[in-house]
Amino acid sequence: MGSLFRSEEMALCQLFLQSEAAYACVSELGELGLVQFRDLNPDVNAFQRKFVNEVRRCDEMERKLRYLEKEIKKDGIPMLDTGESPEAPQPREMIDLEATFEKLENELREVNQNAEALKRNFLELTELKHILRKTQVFFDEMADNQNEDEQAQLLGEEGVRANQPGQNLKLG
C-alpha cells in the first residue's frame, strides 16, 4: 500500500459511478485511505450540492458523539480505543445510528438536568437544616433563661445563688 506523500507516484483518474453504487464505492475507497478526491465543481455553492443533507446529518451525528464523549471523559469513565476506524455504515444503518445518538443525547441531557436539580434541592435542604438547628439552640436558650427567671421569682435572689450549676435544688 502506498501513501499520499508528495514524492509518491500518483495518477489522476476520473470515475463515473451510478448514483445507487456511489456511496458504497466512495466509502470503500475512503476506507483504503489511498485516494484523494478533487472537486470538479468548485463554483457550486455548498448548499446546492446533491448530498448536502446527508453531510448535515453526519455533522449533526458527529456533534452528538463529541458531546457524549465529553460527558464520558468528564465523569472519568474509561473508553475502549481500538485505534482503528470503523467501516462506513450503510445508508439504512445511518437512520438507526441517528435515532440512537438522538436518544442517548436526550437521556444524558435529562440526567444532567436531574443531577443539577438534586444538587439544588440538597443545598436548600442543608440550609434549612442549619436554620432549624440554630433556631432550636435559640429556643433552648430562651427556655433555660425563662426557667431561671421563674426560679428567681419563686425562690428569690438567694435561692438562685444557692442553686449554682452542678447543685441540686431541694424544695421542701
Q: How far apart are CA 1 and CA 34, in angstroms?
A: 8
Q: How far is CA 103 from CA 68, 69, 130, in A?
A: 11, 15, 41
For residues 34-63, b (16+ Cβ closer than 10 Å) or e, as one string?
eeeeeeeeeeeeeeeeeeeeeeeeeeebee
Q: How far apart are CA 71 and CA 108, in angstroms?
A: 8
The DSSP code for 76 is: T
Which of the two residues, 124 and 38, has the higher pLDDT score? 124
Nine cell digits for residue 105: 443525547
- 153-167 pLDDT, tens digit per residue, is 766 655 555 555 555
Quick check: pTM over 0.75?
no
